[in-house]
Structure 1
Amino acid sequence: MAKYKPSNEDQMVMLPISLQDQLVPGTLEHTIHRLVDENINLSVFDERYKNDVTGAAAIHPKSLLKVILLAYARGMISSRQIERACHENILFIALSYGYAPDHSTIAAFVSSMQKEISSIFSNILLVCEELGLLDGTHFSLDGVKLSANVSKEWSGTFDELKHKRDKLQEKLQRVIAEHVQADAQPEVELKRQKKRERRFQLQVERLNRFLQEQEPKYGSEGREIQSNVIDNESAKMPSAHGVIQGYNAQALVDSKHQVILAAEAFASQDHENLAPMLEGAKKNLAAIGKEPTYFEGKELTADSNYHSFNSLTWCKDEKIDAYIPDIQYRKRDPRFADQERFKDGVHGRRRPEAKSDMFTAADFSFDASKQVYLCPHGKELACHARNQTNRYRTYDIYHARPEDCAACPLKARCLSKSTSSRRYLSIPVDTQPPNLIDEMKAKIDSEEGKRIYARRLGIVEPVFANICVQKRMHRFTLRSKRKVDVQWTRKRFALVHNIAKIHTFGVLI
């Protein structure tokens, strides 16, 4: 008969463990431990605690910061996952000094760092500069669209949200009627009916509160864009995985070791974010002693999503050597002659061809005396907004009255969608210098321009691959732009990605 060693779960074991010995030099956790202790100014957290005379002692911010940074580097983005690791994983126990903070403490710390984040980011960036990880000659800008902690099913225009509320109210009335009929049913069925009734009631109350407290949002062309009831600062965006409700997370990256100089989350398209990103990078670099003219004469590459009059004008004014192609540049490059074969997903969609009998801007006449446009049916379109700039042109926006369009016999030829309530007319205003576009086309089409622009792919794209795939940070867990900014800057960039670069390429003695 086989013999086995006895198994006794009741036996007591004493394990003498030195927490300091668990942080082995050369490991990422040791790098995080050293950086937080020696290079990050933690005094910025002191003012949030008011327990110097009374109150219990708080867990030190350095413990929380170390634990959170290592957790994010390991792909843990849930506060409950981090709490569990602080109880079970000896590395997390060592970094937290055995205090094992609970998930509510971790979550509160994560979401309340709006004031401290800039200082911490600058501290890490200064270490990168001191270790020679910054080159300062070529920078790449790009963005990735990540889902917010909301459902896109709660998005819509105000009319659509009102319709959704009415439908939910109808469902609520049906559930209440079913509840009355179910009084004779078993207790389990009654509880289920009450739960459904309460759920629909809360949804109706949420929609009513949103419609009363918020105002419709309008895009650059003067048309109402969809709002979201849960996080109204997020937006619907096309991505490689379809249309998502989320934010456009941006990063400006140095070419030498892919260190991130600035990071911010927006709800706008890429071409609106170039100037804010460069201004943010200037502030971060000024904090480590760089001059405001740091970017002058330096190369900046960004993809065609950033190409616009405003972006090119801003780069010219700032004396930045920008390489930002237009959306047609691949069609002029013989190397991409077969690109149509490989399109798929959202970016492979084609616009439906316009109906030949639809009215165009040429069918509308301008009445100079009234400063209005007249539609083919003779109704007036008043000016709704002036000097609205999109990527390439500046427009004045005119629109008709909804009641005129509703009764118009020609609306089938005028309104592109059956759900549209009025006709909008965009009239170009020639206020932007056209030579900037032509100059950039010639610059990108040159052999030197192609060579420089080709560097972009190897500089900024691996950053997003590392963050979203390797570290599994592919969604936001917080709500509102203010909190998402902190999460993106701290969790994904400054204190995870850049610390990993310090660990890999830097030398901490």
Structure 2
Amino acid sequence: MGHIEGFDRGQVSLLPACIDDYVAPQALVRIVDAFIGSLDLAELGFARAIAASTGRPGFHPADMLRLYVWGYLNQVRSSRHLERACVRDLEALWLMRRLAPDYRTIAAFRHDNPEAIVRASAAFVQFCREQGLVGGHTVALDGTKMRAAASPKNIAGAERLTRDLAHTEREIAYYLDRLDAIDEQVAQGFDDQPAHREAFAGAIASLKRRKDRLARRQAELARRDEKVLVFGEPEAKPMGYAHAPKLPSYNLQSVVDVESGLIIHHDVFNDANDSHMLRPMSLAAKEVLAADELHVLTDGGYSNAEEVARCEAEAITVSAPIKRGAMNSEHFRPTQFVYDEASDTIRCPAGQTMRPSGIHTRNRAIRYRTPACKTCSLKPRCTPGAQRAIHRLIDQAALDRMEARIYADPSLMRIRRCTVEHPFGTIKRMSGGGRFLTRGLRRVKAEAALSVVAFNIMHAMNAFGAEKLTGAG
């Protein structure tokens, strides 16, 4: 029995003459085309949205935006790969109407229009909201670390630069000594054609260039007043989880609507700490939804008492566990000290009353103490010091209310996890494992916006169907 054989390449075939026949009616590329065709690109701020009356005609920004969104949907982000796709991929041929811009033109569009690309991503959320696809009052908030384009080798601090500079100077001195020894041999007539002299001179020149580069980096580090800097991409910061290696990264934050599963707001920061991002991200999501009230589900990384209290003042309810640090198991834990709101006192495990004795301004906390510690029989189990002090945050009541919601309904954390985690996984899969191609926060935000709008288009089609999206567009 033989194998399945293909057709003769030289055989004439009656293939469809229309490119549109090669693209399935339910293809994602049709949704991309319909959505971008509905945008007012001049209002969004795209350059060259209105053609100039003179000069050489350029590509329409709508075509370039279509190509990029389609590329991010299909894990094709490189401008060179997009250039090749324009001449060999049927969907790209259909989408671009056989236009084939070169890679420099493609890369320049993303480089020159970062803010407009972010606004175009937000426009798709508004498009879905106008069609009634987004409208819930419960959202999930989380962040993830995305690798920057810079290499981990470009992370350096003052100590490392000093060490590398000293090592480079020692290497230069070593090669200079070898050259002196060769010159001495030549002067004594032992060697007419000294070996390795040219190689040594080249090594010294290379080391001197490295020394100059290290000196410039030292000056830049001192000028920026930073402890550690990512050279080549200073806006990226070393980030990681637990004891994992700290790599040059950005912090991608997203707010996902629980009802629809769409990312309704996102932003990129170069701060690894999430605790100060709760209020700005929640307020932005509330504005997108045009809601009077909002319920935000998040994790312990956002349990900042001041931020939670400010959210409550803005009619934003936060549900999350309180992030607690490591505790000494040999002594009573702070949770074993019971606070009484009516009297503003704390009852310790020994039954004594602890009263306010000062304010910790930097941490926004009130200090509670009791003189009974001196004669307390439980003191060895309480503190090794002279007196036990308990610090209660000024906005601790807001944190307690936040955590109480989790205990009242434990399913909230499961909803949060199932809502906000999988978009990050999909985005990282579509972006080569979660690494940006461009450098600098401004352009990285444009890349994140392209990834988010690609995810939203794919999820909207899976959840609501292509007919509703293309028909509305």
State the TM-score, normalizing by the size of structure 2: 0.72
Change (3 A) 1:177 1:482: farther
**Per-residue deviation, 1:251:** 0.4
For 1:85 and 1:65, the matched residues in 2 are separated by 15
| Correspondence for 1:36 | 36
| Correspondence for 1:297 | 293
| Residues 235-274 of structure 1: pairs in structure 2 closer than 5 A | 235-239=237-241, 242-268=245-271, 269-274=273-278
| Residues 390-401 of structure 1: pairs in structure 2 closer than 5 A | none
| Correspondence for 1:101 | 101
For 2:421 and 2:6, the matched residues in 1 are separated by 54
Residue aligned with 1:262, SS: strand
**Per-residue deviation, 1:242:** 4.0
> Which residue identity is paired with 1:212?
A
Query: What are the superposed Cα offsets for residues 67-122 of structure 1, whole Å, 9 maximum, x if unpaired?
Result: 11111111122222211211221211222222212222222212222331343123
| Correspondence for 1:310 | 306
For 2:47 and 2:91, the matched residues in 1 are separated by 29
| Correspondence for 1:487 | 447
For 1:96 and 1:202, the matched residues in 2 are separated by 46
Indicate conservation of the 8 Å contact 2:154/2:231, yes or no.
yes
For 1:201 and 1:16, the matched residues in 2 are separated by 64
**Per-residue deviation, 1:473:** 5.0
For 1:197 and 1:28, the matched residues in 2 are separated by 57
| Residues 86-485 of structure 1: pairs in structure 2 closer than 5 A | 86-171=86-171, 194=202, 200=207, 202-215=209-222, 225-239=227-241, 242-268=245-271, 269-282=273-286, 285=288, 291=290, 294=291, 296-328=292-324, 388=362, 432-446=394-408, 448=409, 450-469=410-429, 472=432, 474-485=434-445
Indicate conservation of the 8 Å contact 2:305/2:398, yes or no.
yes
For 1:178 and 1:7, the matched residues in 2 are separated by 69
Kindly name which structure, 1 or 2, has the bigger radius of gyration based on alpha carbons.
2
For 1:505 and 1:66, the matched residues in 2 are separated by 22
Change (3 A) 1:200 1:254: farther
Q: List gaps (5 residues or longer) in structure 2.
A: 184-192, 329-359, 368-388
> Which residue identity is paired with 1:276?
P
Change (3 A) 1:45 1:202: farther
For 1:83 and 1:184, the matched residues in 2 are separated by 52
| Correspondence for 1:380 | none
Q: Alignment RMSD, CA only?
A: 4.0
For 1:155 and 1:81, the matched residues in 2 are separated by 29
Change (3 A) 1:127 1:5: closer
| Correspondence for 2:59 | 59
Change (3 A) 1:324 1:20: same
Indicate conservation of the 8 Å contact 1:45/1:61, yes or no.
no
For 2:178 and 2:263, the matched residues in 1 are separated by 58
Report percent identity of matched pairs: 22
For 1:439 and 1:58, the matched residues in 2 are separated by 57
Change (3 A) 1:209 1:452: same
Indicate conservation of the 8 Å contact 2:121/2:450, yes or no.
no
Indicate conservation of the 8 Å contact 1:217/1:225, yes or no.
no
Indicate conservation of the 8 Å contact 1:37/1:62, yes or no.
yes
> Which residue identity is paired with 2:403?
K
**Per-residue deviation, 1:50:** 9.1
Indicate conservation of the 8 Å contact 1:207/1:229, yes or no.
no
Residue aligned with 1:208, SS: helix
For 1:245 and 1:394, the matched residues in 2 are separated by 38
Change (3 A) 1:185 1:243: same
Q: List gaps (5 residues or longer) in structure 1.
A: 219-223, 330-349, 354-385, 396-426
Residue aligned with 2:321, SS: coil
**Per-residue deviation, 1:172:** 5.4
- Does 1:502 pair with 2:455? no
For 1:135 and 1:6, the matched residues in 2 are separated by 53
Residue aligned with 1:25, SS: coil
> Which residue identity is paired with 1:475?
R
Change (3 A) 1:48 1:61: closer
Indicate conservation of the 8 Å contact 1:157/1:216, yes or no.
no
Query: What are the superposed Cα offsets for residues 381-404 of structure 1, whole Å, 9 maximum, x if unpaired?
Result: xxxxx9655xx8699xxxxxxxxx
| Residues 44-55 of structure 1: pairs in structure 2 closer than 5 A | 44=44, 47-48=47-48, 52-55=52-55
Indicate conservation of the 8 Å contact 1:274/1:311, yes or no.
yes
For 1:46 and 1:483, the matched residues in 2 are separated by 14
For 1:8 and 1:47, the matched residues in 2 are separated by 45
Indicate conservation of the 8 Å contact 2:239/2:248, yes or no.
yes
Residue aligned with 2:310, SS: helix
> Which residue identity is paired with 1:503?
M
For 2:111 and 2:24, the matched residues in 1 are separated by 30
> Which residue identity is paired with 1:127?
F
**Per-residue deviation, 1:216:** 6.3
Indicate conservation of the 8 Å contact 2:320/2:402, yes or no.
yes
Q: How many residue pairs are counted as aligned between the two chains?
A: 400
Change (3 A) 1:177 1:305: farther
Change (3 A) 1:243 1:67: same
For 2:299 and 2:216, the matched residues in 1 are separated by 41
Query: What are the superposed Cα offsets for residues 294-349 of structure 1, whole Å, 9 maximum, x if unpaired?
Result: 2x4321111111111232122222121110211359xxxxxxxxxxxxxxxxxxxx
Residue aligned with 1:270, SS: coil
Change (3 A) 1:107 1:205: farther
**Per-residue deviation, 1:282:** 4.7
For 1:129 and 1:5, the matched residues in 2 are separated by 48
Select between 263-272 and 466-475 the one with higher mean Cα deviation. Answer: 466-475
Change (3 A) 1:109 1:169: farther
Change (3 A) 1:435 1:126: closer
Residue aligned with 1:59, SS: coil
